[in-house]
Structure 1
């Protein structure tokens, strides 16, 4: 028997995450008409300003669900073919045989074989499994750098391939979603940010969600603290940051309320058609940036505890901020959680990030929010 919301248990689980080491976090959990919002900790470690559940927050790769939905709208209109090679639309960005072999679907579900551009844009930062051999100075050096998406795409396309087009497991790569942004611009005649704003964000009625054009977060928000696996000690605030480094792959600002509203409307067939949603829920194995193999669809991936209901959604991180938004397959139960610290796990002698009490506390919070 499914349990309804338990405010006391949810509040206690939220406080446990704060006590485990997250400066501040906030969440909204829904079960039908029941809505619970809560917050724990501080938005500013210096002033002690408390975090609140209505704060705007950088939500990272949850942006990918918005971008995927925008592309599928264009598939529905006939302007984009889901299984059409990207080279037919963007031959200069993905030329030759790769442009002929990589389809739009492969970009959305990360089976294109295109490499991640981030190690090229941030020379002293490497991706898994070389995280231990990095220097976080790149984060400060690029705080106000204005990247052009075509420059970043070229870095990813010209880097050695990480797989064959359509092969599985795929490899998660932000290069794919920058290309999807360029594709939207090509077929709509407007920027990806403008199209997504008008046709996804506004269609869903989201009042506190935006794709920013500058480095600041407008409105009430938390400072966000990056630890970079203990190499930044104490963790440093990166709430002011030019997000052109990730654009339509991860720059979104939102609230936990808006995230729940968006995923609710998405699964209700109000953002894309039911047939497009079915395509979004067709999954393939993909290796995440943490090196784990996950099931990934078209901007969505499922999560479930053994023997429990399946949830659909996405997580996201940027420098200092993290978020997770999930909705049960029947659309009734939802959770959205935001935290203001990232990469708290220090490296052990093996060179791998070590477990931290925050990990267990967050999992406990997720279980209470999802399953009661």
Structure 2
């Protein structure tokens, strides 16, 4: 498809970003690309106590945007012949997924969340509005597990031990981090190395990313913001969780990156420089999936599809972990890209029924994203 050349309105982007900060977001930073132009911006503070400002080059926990990296690594192994996309996972991991489920659930079903395996978070632990603490509905339990090292097999077992969310292959699928932890175990089996090293070698380095990786420690090297979790008003004032052991999500949501690295990654991916055209076509085969917040999204193999009427189709992913939120989207023709990071999440306070209520940040952030992706 021919690239649609267009220019960026820096003043409008600046104004819209400032609007998110004024609405209550402590800090956010973004990179927007259109044609050959690049806009980098930041608004607000990285530390509410000291007033240290955010900067667009800061590293950030990107949450489930990690899933695109993991999916690309799996597709690389499909291309090499080590993994069959429609083979049962029980062929590779019979101990982890034994019996009939192992025979019926395929690698593709793990990638597109149609396996029927429950997410270990809301099913293994009591949840709050779909975003649970690790052990109970309390901020204290998040703190209690800040430095806990979870084994992926332990978490996978929790997901498999919970009631199935549906029959293997059935639509709509149900989003599950357990699927991507299983894919991590699959990658380790067929490559003989850790999933972190494999994704680094086969995807991150291939894309030429300099500030993306799986931290081996609970903290982040290089300049970064504090990351504030509000847990729908249960943590007031919001608490910093930029230091956290990310073994609770691993290859499902454990990466750290920058907004510039994310735009580069998706640019390289959609240009066919990480996986081949056939694999990319498989990644873009979508169907309905129920996300953790209960909304239905169009999901492929590690990719979201978003249609914006009058402005085209966009591909990418979003992600949220304790205190950090990220969105990275690229228009189908490659002519427009946005990656944005925010340092406060779950800002919507809940009503007496536990339903998160609208907040001014919602509208302001949507307006910024629309300005970035659509130009108005």
TM-score by length of 2: 0.96
> Does the Cα contact within 8 Å between 1:184 and 1:192 map onto a contact in 2?
yes
Secondary structure at 2:221 match in 1: coil
Match of 2:72 among 44, 65, 69: 69
Q: How far 1:309 sits from its partner (Å)? A: 1.0
Aligned mates of 2:309, 2:85 — CA distance in 1: 33
Q: How far 1:69 sits from its partner (Å)? A: 0.1
Does 349-358 or 102-111 show the bigger shift? 349-358
> Does the Cα contact within 8 Å between 1:124 and 1:137 map onto a contact in 2?
no
Q: How far 1:129 sits from its partner (Å)? A: 8.9
Aligned mates of 2:80, 2:129 — CA distance in 1: 37
2:49 matches 1:46 = yes
2:351 matches 1:360 = no
Q: Map residues 14-33 of structure 1 onto 2, 5 A cutoff.
A: 14-33=17-36
Aligned mates of 2:131, 2:13 — CA distance in 1: 35
Aligned mates of 1:48, 1:81 — CA distance in 2: 51
**Judging changes above 3 Å, is the alpha-carbon distance between structure 1 residues 110 and 175 closer, same or farther for their aligned structure 2 residues?**
same
Runs of 5+ consecutive residues of structure 2 not aligned to the other structure: none
Secondary structure at 2:231 match in 1: coil
Aligned to 2:347: 344
Question: Runs of 4+ in structure 1 displaced over 4 angstroms?
Answer: none
> Does the Cα contact within 8 Å between 1:129 and 1:291 map onto a contact in 2?
no
Aligned mates of 1:126, 1:97 — CA distance in 2: 32
2:337 matches 1:334 = yes
Aligned to 1:272: 275
> Does the Cα contact within 8 Å between 1:3 and 1:371 map onto a contact in 2?
no
Aligned to 1:260: 263
Match of 2:9 among 6, 9, 31: 6
Q: How far 1:118 sits from its partner (Å)? A: 1.5
> Does the Cα contact within 8 Å between 1:2 and 1:371 map onto a contact in 2?
no
Aligned mates of 2:21, 2:307 — CA distance in 1: 24
Aligned to 2:322: 319
Aligned to 1:147: 150
Secondary structure at 1:163 match in 2: coil
Does 151-160 or 255-264 show the bigger shift? 151-160
Aligned mates of 1:56, 1:304 — CA distance in 2: 29
Aligned mates of 1:120, 1:102 — CA distance in 2: 19
> Does the Cα contact within 8 Å between 2:253 and 2:319 map onto a contact in 1?
yes
Aligned to 1:230: 233
> Does the Cα contact within 8 Å between 2:121 and 2:132 map onto a contact in 1?
no
Q: How far 1:220 sits from its partner (Å)? A: 0.3
Aligned mates of 1:127, 1:281 — CA distance in 2: 29
Secondary structure at 2:328 match in 1: strand
| C-alpha RMSD over aligned residues | 1.5
Cα deviation digits, residues 123-158 of structure 1 (max 9, x gap): 354453989x92222210100000111111111111
Q: Map residues 93-104 of structure 1 onto 2, 5 A cutoff.
A: 93-104=96-107
Number of equivalences: 370
Secondary structure at 2:327 match in 1: strand
> Does the Cα contact within 8 Å between 1:125 and 1:138 map onto a contact in 2?
no
Secondary structure at 1:220 match in 2: coil
